[in-house]
C-alpha cells in the first residue's frame, strides 16, 4: 500500500470543491469508498446521478454504472471511471448484435405479435447503454435489483410476455416470486440457433430469460445455506437476487445491496446473518455491526469478490482527481447521443416506478 494516497486524494478533492461528486457502489473496497460523497446500490446511485449539479461525476463503480450516470446527467456534466477496465462480466454477456438477432428471431416466430399479447424487453441495469436504448425504443425499460418486481408489473400491464436481459437469475427469482411457475420461463442461449428453444416453448413462455449470470453471485450454492442451517442455528440467511434460484429459495430474505444493509440495520441486537453477496460489503457490515451486538458472516466461507469493481484503486482515484485539478478529464465515459436518447427513455420509465 502507498500511504501517500489518502493525503493526495484529500488534497485534490479539496481543490476541486463542489465541482466534483464521488459516487461509490457498496462493493467498492474500503480505501476507495471512504472518499465517496454518496454510497448506494445501483438504483440509488442512478438517482444521485440524475439529481446532482456537480460538473464532474467520478464513479467508483463499474462501466455500466458510469454509462448510466452519463445518460441521466445533463449535457454539461462529465462522468469519469477511474479505471476503464472496471467492467462487469454479466453486462458483457449480452451484446447488442446478439440481442437484435434474438428479437428478430422472436418476431419471425410470432412471439412478439400483438395478437399473442405482445412482448416487452426489460433489461437489468447491469447492461450496456445500447441495450438500454434497445429496450427504450421498443416500449421497454430498465430495472435494478431494488425495483425488478415493479418493472415486471409495469411490463405485464402492457404485454403478455417479457424478454429479460441479461441476468437469468434475477429474472427467474423475480418472476417466480410473482407466482409465475418455472415451466412458464425459458432460457435463451445467444450461442445456439434460435436460442436453443423450440418455437412452441417460446410461444407458451411468459418470460424469456437471457442466458447471463453474475460470476460472483453464482458461486453461492444451496449447500452453503444447508451448512449455515446445520452449524449456525438461528442465523438468518440473506442473499442478493443475482444468486441462483435454488439459493434464493432456501434463504430467509432476498434483496438488493441496499435492502441487505437495511435489513441488518433494522434487526435486533443479538441477531446474526449469513450474507450472500460481494465480500467487501459483507466485511464492512461485519465490522460496522459487531459493536452493536449483531454478527455478520459471508455465506460462502471463501468470500466472493467482484474483481472488476476491485480494479478501482486509490491510485486510480488519485490519478483521475489530480488530472482534474490540472484541467484534464481522463477516462471520460461518454455515451453516443443517439443511444443516449433511447436509453434515457428506458431509464426514466424505471425511475417513475414507485418502490
- Whether residue 117 contacts residue 110, with contact meaning beta carbons closer than 8 Å, is answered with no
Which segment (186-194, 229-237, 245-253, 306-314) binds ligand SF4 by CB under 6 A? 306-314
Q: How near is the Cβ of 126 to ligand 13P at its closest, in Å? A: 5
| CB neighbours of residue 222 within 10 Å | 16
Cα separations (Å) of 182 from 12, 158, 232, 292? 52, 21, 31, 41
- Whether residue 255 contacts residue 240, with contact meaning beta carbons closer than 8 Å, is answered with yes
DSSP letters of 23-63?
EEETTS-HHHHTT-SEEE-HHHHHHHHHH---SEEEEES-H
Q: Is 26 or 206 the residue whose CB approaches ligand 13P more closely?
A: 26
| Helix axes 42-51 and 63-72, enclosed angle (nearest 10) | 30
DSSP letters of 273-334?
EEEES-HHHHHHHHHHHGGGT-EEEESSTT----TTGGG--HHHHHHHHHHHHTT---SEE-
Q: Which of 308, 331, 335, 345 binds ligand SF4 (CB under 6 A)?
A: 308
Q: How near is the Cβ of 217 to ligand 13P at its closest, in Å? A: 6
Q: How near is the Cβ of 174 to ligand 13P at its closest, in Å? A: 13
CB under 5 to 8 A by kind: which of ligand 13P, ligand SF4, none does 41 bind? ligand 13P
Q: Is 111 or 131 the residue whose CB approaches ligand SF4 more closely?
A: 131
> What is the grid cell recorded at 350?
424505471
Q: Is 106 or 304 the residue whose CB approaches ligand SF4 more closely?
A: 304
Q: How near is the Cβ of 218 to ligand SF4 at its closest, in Å? A: 9
- CA separation for the pair 87, 216 (Å, rounded): 13
Q: Which of 38, 50, 89, 117 binds ligand SF4 (CB under 6 A)?
A: 89
- Indicate the residue whose CB is closest to ligand 13P: 41
Q: 181-240: which residues touch ligand SF4 (CB under 6 A)?
A: 214-216
Cα separations (Å) of 185 from 155, 172, 179, 182, 325? 15, 8, 12, 5, 52
CB under 5 to 8 A by kind: which of ligand 13P, ligand SF4, none does 144 bind? ligand 13P
- CA separation for the pair 204, 153 (Å, rounded): 19
Q: How near is the Cβ of 89 to ligand SF4 at its closest, in Å? A: 5
Cα separations (Å) of 79 from 52, 218, 275, 309? 12, 30, 32, 17
Where does this chain bind ligand 13P (CB under 6 A)? 41-43, 126, 144-145, 214, 242, 256-257
- CA separation for the pair 122, 148 (Å, rounded): 9
Q: How near is the Cβ of 84 to ligand 13P at its closest, in Å? A: 18
CB under 5 to 8 A by kind: which of ligand SF4, ligand 13P, none does 308 bind? ligand SF4
Q: Is 105 or 126 the residue whose CB approaches ligand 13P more closely?
A: 126
Q: Is 43 or 154 the residue whose CB approaches ligand 13P more closely?
A: 43
Backbone angles phi, psi at 41, to 5 degrees: -85, 180
Which of 114, 119, 88 has its CA nearest to residue 212?
Answer: 88
CB under 5 to 8 A by kind: which of ligand 13P, ligand SF4, none does 89 bind? ligand SF4
Q: Could you say whether residue 278 binds ligand SF4 (CB under 6 A)?
A: yes
CB under 5 to 8 A by kind: which of ligand 13P, ligand SF4, none does 145 bind? ligand 13P
Q: Could you say whether residue 306 binds ligand SF4 (CB under 6 A)?
A: yes
Q: Is 257 or 331 the residue whose CB approaches ligand 13P more closely?
A: 257
Q: 103-132: which residues touch ligand SF4 (CB under 6 A)?
A: 126
Q: Is 70 or 242 the residue whose CB approaches ligand 13P more closely?
A: 242
332-333/78-80 β-pairing: antiparallel
Q: Give the DSSP letter of residue 187.
A: E
Q: Interface residues with ligand SF4 (CB under 6 A)?
A: 62, 88-90, 126, 214-216, 242, 278, 306, 308-309
Amino acid at each position: 500500500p502507498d500511504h501517500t494516497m489518502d493525503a493526495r486524494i484529500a488534497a485534490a478533492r479539496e481543490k476541486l470543491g463542489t465541482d466534483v461528486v464521488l459516487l461509490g457502489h457498496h462493493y467498492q473496497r474500503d480505501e476507495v469508498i471512504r472518499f465517496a460523497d454518496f454510497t448506494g446500490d445501483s438504483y440509488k446511485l442512478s438517482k444521485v446521478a440524475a439529481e446532482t449539479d456537480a460538473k464532474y461525476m467520478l464513479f467508483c463503480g463499474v462501466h455500466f454504472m458510469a454509462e448510466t450516470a452519463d445518460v441521466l446527467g445533463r449535457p454539461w456534466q462529465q462522468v469519469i471511471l477511474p479505471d476503464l477496465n472496471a467492467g462487469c462480466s454479466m453486462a458483457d454477456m449480452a451484446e447488442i448484435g446478439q440481442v437484435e438477432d434474438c428479437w428478430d428471431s422472436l418476431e419471425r416466430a410470432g412471439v412478439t405479435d400483438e395478437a399473442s399479447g405482445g412482448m416487452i424487453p426489460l433489461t437489468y441495469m447491469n447492461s450496456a447503454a445500447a441495450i438500454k436504448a434497445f429496450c427504450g425504443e421498443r416500449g421497454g425499460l430498465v430495472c435494478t435489483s431494488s425495483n425488478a418486481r415493479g418493472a415486471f408489473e409495469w411490463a405485464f400491464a402492457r404485454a403478455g410476455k417479457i424478454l429479460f436481459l441479461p441476468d437469468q437469475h434475477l429474472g427467474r427469482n423475480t418472476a417466480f416470486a410473482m407466482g409465475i411457475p418455472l415451466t412458464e420461463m425459458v432460457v435463451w442461449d445467444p450461442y445456439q440457433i434460435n436460442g436453443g428453444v423450440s418455437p412452441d416453448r417460446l410461444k407458451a413462455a411468459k418470460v424469456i430469460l437471457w442466458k447471463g449470470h453474475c460470476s460472483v453471485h453464482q458461486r453461492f450454492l444451496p449447500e452453503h445455506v444447508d451448512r449455515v442451517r446445520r452449524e449456525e442455528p438461528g442465523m438468518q440467511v440473506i442473499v442478493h437476487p443475482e444468486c441462483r434460484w435454488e439459493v434464493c429459495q432456501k434463504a430467509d430474505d432476498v434483496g438488493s445491496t441496499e435492502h441487505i444493509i437495511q435489513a441488518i440495520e433494522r434487526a435486533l441486537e443479538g441477531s446474526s446473518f449469513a450474507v450472500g453477496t460481494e465480500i467487501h460489503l459483507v466485511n464492512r457490515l461485519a465490522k460496522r455491526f459487531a459493536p452493536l451486538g449483531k454478527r455478520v458472516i459471508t455465506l460462502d466461507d471463501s468470500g466472493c469478490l467482484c474483481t472488476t469493481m476491485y480494479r478501482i484503486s486509490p491510485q486510480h482515484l488519485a490519478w483521475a482527481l489530480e488530472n482534474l485539478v490540472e484541467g484534464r478529464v481522463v477516462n471520460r465515459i461518454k455515451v453516443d447521443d443517439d443511444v443516449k436518447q433511447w436509453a434515457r427513455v428506458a431509464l426514466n420509465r424505471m425511475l417513475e416506478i414507485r418502490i
